[in-house]
Structure 1
């Protein structure tokens, strides 16, 4: 008989092969031979996705599919013979009942689980069971469309380093307590968690922050170790005014309040209304504490807003190590503001002094340019202030207005004629 070379491979090699297969297929290898009977039972990372069943064939999930999906997970957990490092479940609540997930999580809580990912695609508000909060070995927790309400005795996750909450029903108090009582937390993602309106982050070891929501307050005073941040800030759908809480006290500045607590920031994305939040208050020419390590910056700018360019310029002047800059033209309608304290007339972008040298800037990407004078002035400033610039990529709007289409050839010609401080600077114009 010809030798079975695959069955003779070392266990770590066969585990690697099985981990590359859909788990459904990996489990089926148990029928190949006696040597393969328990191979899949030694996988440390388990990922179950209902899309690999009937949904991948564009048909409704029937009772047989449900039974096969649930029975397979039960079987895998029952026969598993090594500790489970990672468990990921992606499904809809019409496929799996809450009692099934409760049963699996209870089993995992007794097996020193390190990574737990529960992603549910229906708005049924699955209530995370108390057994999760006993998993003190958890290093990564990711939840989508769940209800997170720990018991009153919960004192935090002592080993948690990464937390991702997507459209999770969690109260302000629970969120803040969860962050504060997870002392090793290094990465935090918070998206569409509507009940969290104050972004108070008390996490001294936090290095990565990604948030998207309608926040009344942004407080990073106790998160001084952040090196990378993506902040998407908006307002509630039914709100036509900027929130009162955004307006700083007389003589103070949101810009300084935020950046005084980002001494180690290296990569930063300022998205949606966050630049408006930063611009409110007394705008300095430079930050009190320069962003010495910031080397990549992405900003959404509305050139209709007279405060936008001064705020952006302040950041540029205060970022001596900046090498990559992305500017995204924000074309959403400018919001009215209620308070006259922030209605003082400031210099338009055309009158602002652009005195600034971006000595390390090498790459610039500008998206959504329509060709208005304020945009062109800003591009001219970047070209004249960047002695080491290598490439500037410019893209018009994806759905341009007729005026943009008609005037684009003229815009191209004008851009190519701009003077450049760098002899090696290249301007590249791309299709949207």
Structure 2
């Protein structure tokens, strides 16, 4: 390798030492245009070939930035006097005053004849634009700020100007009218923050985009090819001068809007909405905007005139797809407000897909407008809300949640900043609650509480305090079992309980065979209630006339033979030995499955306690044995953590085609089923065509609960109301936002949240 020469030998002796210097002047100028002007001018000192290269720069950008005023003036003078090429773009901006030099600069600039001119000299009073600038016939783009525009007497116009942007300027009606009308190919026009213009007359046959923001009293638009317009009337404008327009047959606004038949995007901001409403509240719009697809509005929802004018605009935009609104507060009260009728018109927004509201404070007038919007737009998919209210937002979210939607895909989206401003709805109440509330309960309630304990443990509470000494003697339910007792101790316990108890005893203990015989020997039995029992493992009910059944207790299996049963409420205690029912899922003689098959006449079914989990063991892998065509009302206690129970509930829904009312009580699971990991996520699609009402109690706002509500909303086309009883301990606003975002297949469905 030491003998090899380098791959890149000394080529500098062959190749020119400066390849850039040999480029044509036009390319050098184009390269230098990408530098700061000061740096570009300094290249003249590199060599003789670079001495005049900067004078061919097609784009000149001048910024006074860190320059001293005198140095910047010298730089501008030199650039304008020595430049000898074609200038495509000239752009100058500064924060210092240059009124003495401005006229000289404009004269030199007019000799260069650039195609694009941008002047932003914002310090001091407005710069009067000299007549020489209006003589640049090849001008295509003109941006002016902080200036005074007065056209020369002989103004030939800008025949090639396509882009005109004027900001912070003063002029007159006739000068602006002539300036615009003498630009025959003008396609973009922006007029912002102007003075001296009362009647704005825009005549531009090629104009496609218009943006007007300023103080004016009337406007006339003659722009048949306009596609996008943003009209903003400043708050200082004399809007009251436009009031008589409502009675003026020659209203310029009315005629102007009639000429905008091809417009695609319309923005109305500032107080132009109020100005517009003065004449159109009692009259129809002069044209139907068939091509209008996007509307942006700044509107005061407190002002009924503006709301009515907005609705009139919607009526005349049949193909509207996107609506953006900014809600502003009402600073003054219109004296005509009291005479304006409440909004009752019906508007059809068949193509509206997205809508947004910024500055949303959650007041009733804003919520009411959104309610109208949701009822008018069958294709609506999304409503975005930017919350700026200063109060707690959960109640407002609950109102929005209750609004029915005609579109099954419509959902609300709230921005994250909005949610962070919402306060928690559940405050720390522990400091208010007494440290021993149980001691102050009535004796009857204490006895009821103690009935849920083992009798021996209940008796021991007598040692807690004087208020608990005799509490156990009011226990309405007594269950005595000798297991783990010696015989003598159990006899002593029974003697004491029976001797000292002074309340009513409701508890009973009976064997399987006895209860079966008792029921079967009642041939005309119609109502049967079995509650709080023990000693029954397999509950066998054979009652041909039975219509009402309520079972509450601990059992391991159940068999129902009641063909006329119409109402059944089945509650399995949490102490029941559920594991014994696991094989039922694979047992062809499964009593649960057979029992359900016999309930073809049932109208109301309640499954509470742990019975839902018990039922799921036998039904998760098999279909229910019968279709309950008469079943209209279902009440379930369900753990949404347990996918078996959820899937069983869905199987039940599938077999209840005429279900009208559904009530669900959500409870937390203390243990996790070992089979949960093997259960696939539910993807079944079903129809609940007749479901009208649904409610979920003890709703904590967890994802599995929200998912259940989402499926109900997507399955029930006739649903009218979903009631949710909030019992969560965390901030509910995030959960309400999730519920708002859920689409609904029913246009009448509303979700009502109670706290």
Q: Which moved more, 1:320-329 or 1:20-29?
A: 20-29
Q: Determine the C-alpha separation between the residues in 2 that align with 1:79 and 1:288.
A: 57
Q: Determine the C-alpha separation between the residues in 1 that align with 2:23 and 2:407.
A: 57
What are the superposed Cα offsets for residues 152-172 of structure 1, whole Å, 9 maximum, x if unpaired? Answer: 222332222222221222122
Distance 1:250 1:79, change over 3 A: closer
Q: Match for residue 24 of structure 1?
A: 38
Q: Match for residue 70 of structure 2?
A: 67
Structural mapping, 1:311-350, within 5 Å: 311-336=309-334, 345-349=339-343
**Deviation of 1:83 (Å):** 0.8
Q: Determine the C-alpha separation between the residues in 1 that align with 2:131 and 2:249.
A: 47
User: In the alignment, is the contact (CA less than 8 A) between 1:300 and 1:330 conserved in 2?
Assistant: yes
Residue 426 (structure 1) aligned to one of 406, 411, 425 = 411
**Deviation of 1:299 (Å):** 0.7
**Partner SS for 1:242:** helix
**Deviation of 1:12 (Å):** 7.2
What are the superposed Cα offsets for residues 203-248 of structure 1, whole Å, 9 maximum, x if unpaired? Answer: 222222111122111111x2222111111113537x6x71156533
Higher RCO, 1 or 2 (CA under 8 Å, sep at least 6)?
Answer: 1
Q: Match for residue 194 of structure 2?
A: 193
Structural mapping, 1:21-420, within 5 Å: 21-34=35-48, 36-51=50-65, 53-54=66-67, 65-94=68-97, 96-98=98-100, 100-220=101-221, 222-234=222-234, 236=236, 242-244=240-242, 247-249=245-247, 256-281=254-279, 283=281, 287-336=285-334, 345-349=339-343, 352-353=344-345, 355-397=346-388, 400-401=389-390, 405-406=391-392, 408-420=393-405
**Deviation of 1:335 (Å):** 4.9
**Deviation of 1:417 (Å):** 4.5
Q: Determine the C-alpha separation between the residues in 2 that align with 1:147 and 1:32.
A: 42
Q: Match for residue 59 of structure 1?
A: none
Q: Determine the C-alpha separation between the residues in 2 that align with 1:158 and 1:428.
A: 48
Note the residue ranges of structure 1 that are not aligned, 5 or more in a row. Answer: 55-64
Distance 1:254 1:82, change over 3 A: closer
User: In the alignment, is the contact (CA less than 8 A) between 1:252 and 1:282 conserved in 2?
Assistant: no
**Partner SS for 2:292:** coil
What are the superposed Cα offsets for residues 369-412 of structure 1, whole Å, 9 maximum, x if unpaired? Answer: 12222211221222333333332210122xx44xxx22x12222
Distance 1:245 1:22, change over 3 A: farther
User: In the alignment, is the contact (CA less than 8 A) between 2:268 and 2:296 conserved in 1?
Assistant: yes
Q: Determine the C-alpha separation between the residues in 2 that align with 1:243 and 1:203.
A: 26
Q: Determine the C-alpha separation between the residues in 2 that align with 1:46 and 1:134.
A: 20
TM-score, normalised to structure 2's length?
Answer: 0.49
Q: Determine the C-alpha separation between the residues in 1 that align with 2:32 and 2:406.
A: 55
Distance 1:288 1:16, change over 3 A: same
User: In the alignment, is the contact (CA less than 8 A) between 1:253 and 1:278 conserved in 2?
Assistant: no
**Deviation of 1:366 (Å):** 0.5
Q: Determine the C-alpha separation between the residues in 2 that align with 1:323 and 1:361.
A: 4
User: In the alignment, is the contact (CA less than 8 A) between 1:254 and 1:279 conserved in 2?
Assistant: no
User: In the alignment, is the contact (CA less than 8 A) between 1:116 and 1:141 conserved in 2?
Assistant: yes
User: In the alignment, is the contact (CA less than 8 A) between 1:251 and 1:282 conserved in 2?
Assistant: no
**Partner SS for 1:276:** helix
Distance 1:126 1:234, change over 3 A: closer
Distance 1:428 1:292, change over 3 A: same
Aligned residues: 403
Q: Determine the C-alpha separation between the residues in 1 that align with 2:134 and 2:256.
A: 32
**Deviation of 1:34 (Å):** 4.9
Q: Match for residue 461 of structure 2?
A: none
Q: Determine the C-alpha separation between the residues in 2 that align with 1:358 and 1:244.
A: 30
**Deviation of 1:89 (Å):** 1.3
Q: Match for residue 61 of structure 1?
A: none
What's the Cα RMSD here? Answer: 2.9
Q: Which moved more, 1:30-39 or 1:116-125?
A: 30-39
User: In the alignment, is the contact (CA less than 8 A) between 1:271 and 1:300 conserved in 2?
Assistant: yes
What are the superposed Cα offsets for residues 90-132 of structure 1, whole Å, 9 maximum, x if unpaired? Answer: 11453x343x332232122123321122212123232212211
Distance 1:105 1:395, change over 3 A: same
Q: Determine the C-alpha separation between the residues in 2 that align with 1:126 and 1:250.
A: 38
